[in-house]
Amino acid sequence: MLAKLTCTPLVLVQRALLACLMIGCSRSGRIDELTVVQLGYQKWGTLSLLKHRGTLEMRLAPEGIGVEWTEFPTGPALLEALNARSIHFGHTGDSPPIFAQAADISFSYLGASLPSASSEAIVVLKESPIRKLADLRGKRIGFAKGSSSHTLVMRALPSAGLTFADIEPVYLKPADARAALEGKSIDAWVIWDPYLAAIEYPGTARVLLDGNGLVSGREFYLGAADFVRDCPGVVGAILEELGTAMEWAQRHPRQIAELLAPEIGMDVGALEIAERRRGRYQREKSLRPIIAEQQAIADSFFESGLIPRRIEVEKAVPPEYLRAIP
């Protein structure tokens, strides 16, 4: 469970400054009872790098705040934890926040990376007879339900004259999906990096179609709504340390691969491939285009019956993050 959140509220102007990541923002929002901030991360991504660097722990230690990390296999699982109040902050792809908002999970968008569409793809085994997207008709396609891969499936099929009803979806977590593909119990796998690079690198699979022109491949940074509202100083510290990690990462793709490979159990060569084709180490300067992109996905999900009601993405963005650069 989370430590009780009782944080000294800041005036709106201070919150806007925090959204701009001003140095010292964590001290300006003095915390009364928050002793541990809980972060959720996935096997690979900016938060995984931040965890490895340990700079957030050093940043928050003078405030008497510890940092605890929990790994999640997918974005939907991470958002379930956010809803259960077992984490304060995390990151996902594009689809999980949409499903979460439709399920009335209380969270806030705090920012997003630049696009990285080639970091997601539909893959088949190297020897598969499937050569084009239309060949997926009647095939078993594995992907994580509610993940960014779900978006790629929904957007890719119409380009080949297919609908969701023309395939047999098999909802699997990444590790299970890879085993299923290699065991030929599914015909194709829709997946993101570093799992994508890991199965490409040894030549086991080939890319049938990547996300270019179909999905953004962004990484989204999300916080529990009450945590964002009540503890802007801590939120500002997290975002600032993320930004610092991003700046370093842009210059050191090989070093990142070497740092993270032992921790996530993947080959350095595969991770370096993933690192060199991602745009996730640069942050989008405005949330407005992100809102528009997410709204388009949400509308398509509603029209396809994937979510039960139409949502307004902007309602999950704190007003101060619309007025200031995140």
The domain spanning residue 57 has which CATH number?
A: 3.40.190.10
Whether 32 is in a domain gets the answer yes
* 251, 298: one domain: yes
Choosing from 210, 239, 266, the residue where a domain stops is 210
Whether 22 is in a domain gets the answer yes
Q: What does the mean pLDDT of the chain come to?
A: 85
What region does 264 belong to: left with phi over 0, alpha with psi -120 to 50, or beta? Answer: alpha
* 146, 199: one domain: yes
Tell me what percent of the residues of the chain surpass a pLDDT of 70.
88
Copy the structure tokens of residue 268.
């350095």
**Is a pLDDT exceeding 50 seen at residue 324?**
yes
pLDDT for residue 30: 41
Q: Are 233 and 31 in contact (CB under 8 A)?
A: yes
> Burial letters for 316-326: b for 16+ Cβ neighbours within 10 Å, e otherwise?
bbbebbbebeb
* 234, 256: one domain: yes
* 89, 123: one domain: no
* 221, 318: one domain: yes
pLDDT for residue 107: 95
What pTM, to 2 d.p., does this model score?
Answer: 0.81
**Is a pLDDT exceeding 90 seen at residue 309?**
yes
* 110, 221: one domain: yes
Distance CA 43, CA 194 (A): 8
Q: Are 181 and 125 in contact (CB under 8 A)?
A: yes
Residue 284 pLDDT class (50, 70, 90 cuts): confident
Residue 29 pLDDT class (50, 70, 90 cuts): very low
Whether 7 is in a domain gets the answer no
Q: Inter-axis angle of helices 253-264 and 46-53, to 10 degrees?
A: 80
Whether 239 is in a domain gets the answer yes
User: Chain-centre distance of CA 189, in angstroms?
Assistant: 19
* 226, 102: one domain: yes
Whether 228 is in a domain gets the answer yes
* 51, 183: one domain: no
Whether 1 is in a domain gets the answer no
pLDDT for residue 262: 83
Alpha-helical regions (H) of the chain: 12-19, 25-28, 46-53, 55-60, 75-83, 95-102, 148-156, 174-182, 195-200, 225-230, 232-251, 253-264, 268-276, 288-303, 319-323
Query: Per-residue pLDDT tens for 222-232?
Result: 999 999 999 99
* 196, 225: one domain: no
pLDDT for residue 9: 33
Residue 323 pLDDT class (50, 70, 90 cuts): low
Residue 93 has φ and ψ, to the nearest 5°, of: -85, -160
Domain total of the chain: 2
- One-letter amino acid at 298 equals A
Residue 211 pLDDT class (50, 70, 90 cuts): very high
**Is a pLDDT exceeding 90 seen at residue 257?**
no
Query: Per-residue pLDDT tens for 160-185?
Result: 999 999 999 999 998 899 999 999 99
- Quote the domain boundaries for residue 144: 117-210
Select from 45, 32, 205, 44 the least CA-distant residue to 122: 205
